[in-house]
Amino acid sequence: MSTSAAVVVYGATGHTGRFVVAELRRRGIATVISGRDAARLEALAAEWPGVVVRSATVDDASSLDRALAGAASVINCAGPFAVTGGPVVEAALRAGIPYIDVAAEIEANVSMFADHAEAARKADVPVVPAMAFYGGLGDLLVTAAMGEWTTADAVHVAYGLTSWHPTAGTRAAGQVSHERRAGRRVRFADGALQYHDDKASELEWDFPEPLGRRAVIADFTMADVVTVPSHLAVPAVHTHMSVEAARDLADEGTPSPEPVDGLGRSDQTFVVDVLVRAGDVERRATARGQDIYAVTAPLAVEAVQRVLAGRTRTTGVASAGAMFDAADFLRALAPHVSVELPH
């Protein structure tokens, strides 16, 4: 198979990586699967005829260069992204191809903007970090909700998850972030990321149906605190998490997600409810769907297709809301995600 128009999925054997490969194949996009475990990659290739296998490790730059040679783009699905993000994006820039990742690690997201923006701009290569359920979806919803507004006084992104059965990758990434923060919490307030030791608190959030009014952990901070202020003039970004999901995540005994349908999705459902406020005016945008890991695949693959088709608004390192027409992108996610946007 020719790889001249292929998308490389690094971390293809992981839980989210498998969803991404399946979505690429569903859309008829030539795919190269990559990662550090050659045996697991070959086993996966046996399930998916036509994919090309190129094993690579992040501590071997030449192996990454071989994995990306001749490809059209790369999607990095291999966490912890604090370890993989730098080497894979640097390989993409050497190859002159777009880079997209699904990182929900706040520090890794910050590093992507801080450490690679100049090189990506000089190379005129699109780099889209956090193109996933956390970071990407919220950023698109906030951008669509703001519409013609150039500033807002506050942004709230409330995550209503019926449950959260974390993957091994989620737990590993969470541990890395916990260690990098020395156990502190993080928020975006007064125009900057702030690390703090304040005790977590709960509040009530009126989610649209089917969830309704739910208790949430206030300022349960997710990657939106990096993506949203990277391009929108907002002094504060608050992200909140349903209590049920937060408890699942905190419980070391919570099992990994189990598939319940032919697409491999779990029975978890979600509502992401965004509220932006400017003065006395409020606007909302909402997304509903099933399985936060599975829904990352259409987000990342839609981004790849738009980048390769030139349907972008900028180049270099940029979040989803800055790179794409947010409202149009969100509507294109049907039937995976249903959205309600301001008129």
Q: Are 168 and 128 members of one domain?
A: no
CA–CA distance, 93 with 123 (Å, rounded to integer):
7
Q: Are 122 and 193 members of one domain?
A: no
CA–CA distance, 86 with 33 (Å, rounded to integer):
19
Interhelix angle 61-68/81-95, nearest 10 degrees: 60
Give φ, ψ of 329 to 5 degrees.
Answer: -60, -45
How many domains does the structure of the chain reveal? 2
Q: Are 287 and 301 members of one domain?
A: no
What pLDDT does 4 receive? 53
- Tell whether 120 is covered by a domain: yes
CB atoms within 10 A of CB 212: 11
Q: Are 177 and 285 members of one domain?
A: yes
Contact assessment for residue 3 and residue 54, using Cβ atoms and an 8 Å cutoff: no
- The residue among 91, 146, 144, 138 whose CA lies nearest residue 119 is 91
Q: Are 17 and 82 members of one domain?
A: yes
Q: Are 95 and 166 members of one domain?
A: no
Residue appearing with tokens 């490389």: 8
What pLDDT does 174 receive? 86
- Tell whether 127 is covered by a domain: yes
CA–CA distance, 137 with 133 (Å, rounded to integer):
5
- The residue among 288, 301, 267, 300 whose CA lies nearest residue 104 is 300
Give φ, ψ of 30 to 5 degrees.
Answer: -60, 140
For 59, 90, 111, 113, 238, the CA distances from 86, given in Å and listed in that order, are 11, 6, 8, 11, 27
CA–CA distance, 6 with 73 (Å, rounded to integer):
7
What pLDDT does 1 receive? 38
- Tell whether 334 is covered by a domain: no
Pairing of strands 237-242, 213-218: antiparallel
Contact assessment for residue 10 and residue 39, using Cβ atoms and an 8 Å cutoff: no
CA 11 to chain centre: 14
What pLDDT does 2 receive? 42
Residue 180's domain spans which residues?
Answer: 134-291
Residue appearing with tokens 């500033």: 151
- Tell whether 285 is covered by a domain: yes
Helices (H), 223-287: 224-227, 243-250
Q: Are 73 and 158 members of one domain?
A: no
CB atoms within 10 A of CB 289: 23
- CATH number of the domain enclosing 111: 3.40.50.720
pLDDT below 70 — which residues of the chain? 1-4
pLDDT, tens digit, 9 for 90 and up, residues 96-120: 999 999 999 999 999 999 999 999 9
Residue appearing with tokens 């149009």: 328
Q: Are 154 and 282 members of one domain?
A: yes
Q: Are 114 and 23 members of one domain?
A: yes
Q: Are 138 and 93 members of one domain?
A: no
CA–CA distance, 110 with 86 (Å, rounded to integer):
12
Tell me, what amino acid is at 249?
Answer: L
Helix, strand, coil percent content, the chain, rounded in steps of 5 = 35, 25, 40
Cis ω for the linkage preceding 87 (within 30 of 0): no
Q: Are 71 and 113 members of one domain?
A: yes
Q: Are 138 and 284 members of one domain?
A: yes
pLDDT, tens digit, 9 for 90 and up, residues 311-343: 999 999 999 999 999 999 999 999 999 999 997
Cis ω for the linkage preceding 335 (within 30 of 0): yes
Contact assessment for residue 276 and residue 152, using Cβ atoms and an 8 Å cutoff: yes
